[in-house]
Structure formats: C-alpha cells, structure tokens
C-alpha cells in the first residue's frame, strides 16, 4: 500500500454489532450461510480512515479471519516483527486475515472479496475453488487490539497444503488440530478463543467460486 495514502478500513459501530450480532466476549458461534450473512451486514457498515479508528473502541474494524484446513491439519502461523500490527508481533495464529479495504465491485459481498484478497496476498493457494464454512464471531474487549476489531471466523477447506507467500512477514507450518493447545500463552487472543470451537471432522462447507 502507498504509504502516502491513508488506508480506508471497513467496519461497524459497536452499537450495530450488539444489535445485529450480539453483546458478547470471546467466541460466538453462528452457523449461517456465509454469503447471506455477509450481504445482510454490509448496509450497516462504512469505511473510515484507519488512523482515526485504531484507538476508537466505539467502532469495530471488521476482520475476516480464515482458518486453513487440510484434512485434520491446520496452518499455524507465527507473525514476525516486520508485520504492520505491532501488537501481534511474534504471536502464534491460526487465522489469515486483514482489514477490509475498498474493493472493485462485483456480485459478491464486500467481506467475501476482502477475505479472498487476503488469502491470495498471504498464502500460495494453488487450486480453486476453496470451500468455506462460517464459524461465527470473535470479540475480545480484554485486549487493546481486540477492543477495536471484530473477527468474522471462517474455515477454509483445501485439497492441498499451501505455503506462505509473505515469508518476510510470517512463518507457517501445518499441524494436527489435536496437537494445538489453546492455553499456550504464545497464541494471539483470537486464535486461543477459536481453537476450542473447532471440530475434528467439520461438515456443511460452502463452495465459493473464484471470480477471476
């Protein structure tokens, strides 16, 4: 991104979050159709300059947070100090995600387009389509970074084990789900909250075709 341009990020007010999703701390399961849920939330959000919302806990920057699965294995990430969000440096993560920025319009909801862009930028996914399943929402008001963000938790099911594209910003290894301990203090809070909710043999995934 051009450092001379102020990044515009999409989000919703905390009031909208509580009305449309709920008032909660931690992980809130919601097994809904992913595309329909994203489309229904879109009219309630807007873009704001990132530098104006990073300390504003009344407004939630919405982050699609994708867990990548291949069989019983998950992609475990470690965020390096070269990554932009200093509050997450050196933390372990199972989520690929980022801010939703203005995207070229098409028939897909904005959140889906943002999710696909982040996956393409960060991960070397070789095959399309990826299958997705909505898991729910992550809200952690106990941490500084969590107070201004809201996670849309999604599982992405792959038929191969891709590597990391942005190797200058993160490291990645594939690990069996049963070997990942949610109580490990090295996890970023969202991953710790989400790990205990993941099923060993998930079902009801949704296929989203690439628009390319």
Q: Where are the domains of the chain?
A: 8-195
pLDDT for 128-180, tens place per residue?
A: 657 999 999 999 999 999 999 999 999 999 999 999 998 888 899 999 999 99
Q: What is the pTM of this model?
A: 0.89
**Residue 88: strand, helix, or coil:** helix
> What architecture is domain 8-195?
Alpha-Beta Complex (3.90)
Rounded distance between C-alpha atoms, residue 208 and residue 204, angstroms: 13
Tell me, rounded to whole angstroms, the distance of Cα 41 from its chain centroid: 16
pLDDT reported for residue 126: 72
Highest mean pLDDT among 30-39, 75-84, 157-166: 30-39
pLDDT reported for residue 79: 80
pLDDT reported for residue 167: 87
Q: State yes or no: pLDDT of 211 exceeds 60.
A: no
Orientation of helix 34-41 relative to helix 110-122, angle to 10°: 120
Cβ-based neighbour number of residue 147 at 10 Å:
16
Residues 6+ apart with CB under 8 A from 3: none
pLDDT for 66-79, tens place per residue?
A: 999 999 999 999 88
DSSP 167: T
pLDDT for 195-208, tens place per residue?
A: 988 987 666 566 55
């Amino acid at each position: 991104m051009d450092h001379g341009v102020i990044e515009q990020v999409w989000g919703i007010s905390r009031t909208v979050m509580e009305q449309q999703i709920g008032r909660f701390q931690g992980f809130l399961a919601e097994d809904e159709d992913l595309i329909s849920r994203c489309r229904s939330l879109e009219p309630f959000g807007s873009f704001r300059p990132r530098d104006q919302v990073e300390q504003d806990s009344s407004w939630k920057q919405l982050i699609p947070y994708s867990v990548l699965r291949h069989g019983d294995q998950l992609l475990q990430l470690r965020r390096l100090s070269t990554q932009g969000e200093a509050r997450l440096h050196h933390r372990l993560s199972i989520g690929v995600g980022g801010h939703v920025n203005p995207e070229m319009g098409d028939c897909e909801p904005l959140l889906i387009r943002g999710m696909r862009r982040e996956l393409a930028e960060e991960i070397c996914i070789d095959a399309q389509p990826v299958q997705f399943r909505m898991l729910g929402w992550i809200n952690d008001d106990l941490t500084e970074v969590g107070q201004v963000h809201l996670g849309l938790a999604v599982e992405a099911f792959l038929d191969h084990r891709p590597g990391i594209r942005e190797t200058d910003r993160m490291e990645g290894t594939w690990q069996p789900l049963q070997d990942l301990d949610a109580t490990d203090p090295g996890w970023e809070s969202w991953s710790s909250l989400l790990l205990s909710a993941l099923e060993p043999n998930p079902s009801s995934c949704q296929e989203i075709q690439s628009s390319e």
